[in-house]
A and B are shown apart, each in its own frame.
Chain A
């Protein structure tokens, strides 16, 4: 299967290991992965701050970069959500429509397209807390939202992680509260943002988590910033890094 890899700007710049893990994981599962070199960003940083107009050229650039692929896969629920939800403001050509339909968050691609239920060989002997990143959760519906009623299966990320050898997934007191990152919110409302992050981490600490994982590195960047400043006994890792481990 031929797929294009989209590595969002902040992962590219600050967390290249997450990009490498995603690439390796897809290749390990037999995909022919192309990483289009001209790629930059989905435009979300501008648009969420109210500057959608400044994001438009980035949208067009994204469309141009990824127009030739059956699937565009990214280890970021937030950026995928942005492409799917907010690219409605540009001309809805066939290409744009196809891109919006086929830009998938990594776990969606693994489960819905590849039909994978477990990563053979993955092993991660740690107590892991899953932070349910909001845009993936309530935007892409990657997992159950605590507000909704009726039967909702566990998230694909949870199901895939569960199959990793020797992992222990920890149940948190609040299953899907926001970490407080929120893009420019992290800076414009820094006090509330840090308080939210610290409260989330307190939940992980209370429940004996060693590693906090998520579908969005942006949440983890914010949480890691607090962890390091306060010297909490916690680490962060994108779930792609966990799935891409070996050892069995």
Chain B
């Protein structure tokens, strides 16, 4: 079943809201356009960022070892997790060893991917997300709909209602500044009393053994600075070789994400403060498998800026939840089939292959070409709709034989011209539900040409 199409159809039912969602994301894309237009060497930066990431993926084993050695030398405790389960167990283990029961967590798509929060809560840990957007969706008990703007699908009035219910703000309050202020007070209580703080990682520097976390609200840093235990969880692909490479990525990341020159906070964490612990959990969870697929390996270059979502005309009109994945949108549709092709076989088809994602991507991932390749993989694996495959099978046979092609074309046009409207626009005619079929001329170009040249 095509889950994306079904959910997208439901999303579009509310046309005003769809338009609002499209405009909200297009606004961010426009800010990205303005910000990048001010950087004369933008395309050169993309090229460099892409090249560095390619190089890292080709030498990942060495860089990971170097990174972990340096981090350990800095007094950091490094853990390796093969999959989501191991990752969750490691984090729980750290918390149990340090008697931590109150964890503050800052935006990490990896922990979403691993389902960490639910796991910790089941094991008696209180988990509070400290990014405003993350906190909003945590209170709503739903997954993020975007990797940078997790609550972008919600209107300020809905946030107002939510805060009224959970934080006791006055009913009907929807002023963003006042709502943010209320959230700040609410979060501050959690930040001050926490036992441990966990963050994601934007970049891990092999040369220094340090991790870099880019945020706009600073709550990630506040958590790390107030907790006796800090934990940073990263996928193996977060590595960059040298500190000096960071300049390139910092310059492209925030501009691509929101049109800011850089994020408000760029925190570098290298070693624990005296008397505290610092842990880094390095996670594979299917990444080495993806690395081993030549057509798809460079999807691991992604720096999670979200630009491909903002630009995607389908994402903007179907919403992040329609993808049913942790990472939605174009990049999600090439990453997630690698985890479970059967479950996500519809995603490579949730695209027109327009290529906007590939052109906007700051690390030049050929997203739309990989979508094309995943489509082939889906059909090869026998996971496509059999009726569709049979139709295309037949089309392939017809189109390879000029004579068949001419006859079939002629019959189809004849049928279209003479069949009554109710028959043509039946309920199986998906094209015709909201569109007219093309005109069916008496004569094809080829018929006309043959006649003309006989004469």
**A185 near B351: Cβ-Cβ < 8 Å:** yes
**B444 near A48: Cβ-Cβ < 8 Å:** no
A190 CB-CB contact with B under 8 Å: yes
**Interface segment out of the listed B4-12, B108-116, B328-336:** B4-12
A139 to B380, CA, bound (A): 25
Q: Scan B389-413; emit 1 where CB is below 8 A from any A CB, else 0.
A: 1001101110111100100010011
Q: Scan B409-434; emit 1 where CB is below 8 A from any A CB, else 0.
A: 10011000000000000000011011
**A180 near B313: Cβ-Cβ < 8 Å:** yes
A61 to B442, CA, bound (A): 26
**A199 near B22: Cβ-Cβ < 8 Å:** yes
**B359 near A187: Cβ-Cβ < 8 Å:** no
A43 CB-CB contact with B under 8 Å: yes
Which residues does chain A contribute within 8 Å of B435, judged by CB atoms? Answer: 194, 197, 222, 225-226, 228-229
A15 CB-CB contact with B under 8 Å: yes
B392's nearest neighbour on chain A, judged by CB, is A51
> Which A residues, 8 to 56, have Cβ-Cβ distances below 8 Å to chain B?
9-16, 18-20, 23, 35, 37-41, 43, 45-56
Partner of A46, one of B348, B354, B396, B413: B396
**A225 near B431: Cβ-Cβ < 8 Å:** yes
Q: A50-B379, A182-B351, A224-B436 are in contact. Are A57 and B360 (CB under 8 A)?
A: no
B175 CB-CB contact with A under 8 Å: no
Partner of B431, one of A52, A86, A187: A187
A178 to B311, CA, bound (A): 10
Among B352, B388, B395, max chain A CB count under 10 A is at: B352
B198 CB-CB contact with A under 8 Å: no
**Interface segment out of the listed B32-40, B85-93, B154-162, B218-226:** B32-40
**B359 near A134: Cβ-Cβ < 8 Å:** no
A176 to B435, CA, bound (A): 22
A207 CB-CB contact with B under 8 Å: no
Partner of B446, one of A7, A50, A187: A7
Which residues does chain B contribute within 8 Å of A55, judged by CB atoms? Answer: 396
**A192 near B378: Cβ-Cβ < 8 Å:** no
Q: Scan A137-153; emit 1 where CB is below 8 A from any B CB, else 0.
A: 11100000111111000
A59 to B412, CA, bound (A): 23
A58 CB-CB contact with B under 8 Å: yes
**A149 near B39: Cβ-Cβ < 8 Å:** yes
A238 to B386, CA, bound (A): 35
A96 to B399, CA, bound (A): 19
> Which A residues, 217 to 248, have Cβ-Cβ distances below 8 Å to chain B?
221-222, 224-226, 228-229
Chain B contact surface mostly: helix
**A43 near B399: Cβ-Cβ < 8 Å:** yes
Q: A189-B4, A191-B5, A229-B435 are in contact. Are A184 and B409 (CB under 8 A)?
A: no
A195 CB-CB contact with B under 8 Å: yes
A146 to B32, CA, bound (A): 11
Among A16, A177, A199, max chain B CB count under 10 A is at: A16
**A184 near B448: Cβ-Cβ < 8 Å:** no
Q: A49-B375, A58-B399, A178-B356 are in contact. Are A192 and B318 (CB under 8 A)?
A: yes
**A226 near B353: Cβ-Cβ < 8 Å:** no
Which residues does chain A contribute within 8 Å of B359, judged by CB atoms? Answer: 138, 145, 147-148
Q: Scan A184-211; emit 1 where CB is below 8 A from any B CB, else 0.
A: 1111111111111101000000000000
**B317 near A37: Cβ-Cβ < 8 Å:** no
A60 CB-CB contact with B under 8 Å: yes
A181 CB-CB contact with B under 8 Å: yes
Which residues does chain B contribute within 8 Å of A7, judged by CB atoms? Answer: 445-446
Partner of B445, one of A12, A40, A46, A186: A12
Chain B residues with CB under 8 Å of chain A are 2, 4-5, 8-9, 12, 15, 18, 22, 26, 33, 36-37, 39-40, 42-43, 311, 313-314, 317-318, 348-356, 358-360, 368, 372, 375-380, 384, 388-389, 392-393, 395-397, 399-402, 405, 409, 412-413, 430-431, 433-441, 443-450
**Given A20-B445, A150-B42, A188-B388, 13 further pairs, Cβ under 8 A:** A12-B409, A16-B447, A38-B402, A40-B401, A46-B396, A51-B393, A54-B396, A61-B402, A181-B352, A184-B388, A189-B5, A189-B314, A190-B431
Chain A residues with CB under 8 Å of chain B are 7, 9-16, 18-20, 23, 35, 37-41, 43, 45-58, 60-61, 86, 134-135, 137-139, 145-150, 174, 176-178, 180-197, 199, 221-222, 224-226, 228-229
Enumerate the 4 nearest inter-chain pairs by beta-carbon distance, A residue then B residue, closest first. A182-B352, A54-B396, A225-B435, A19-B445
20 contacts between A and B (CB under 8 A): A9-B399, A9-B409, A11-B445, A12-B444, A37-B450, A41-B399, A49-B375, A51-B379, A61-B400, A135-B355, A138-B355, A185-B352, A190-B433, A192-B12, A192-B314, A194-B434, A195-B18, A196-B314, A228-B435, A229-B434
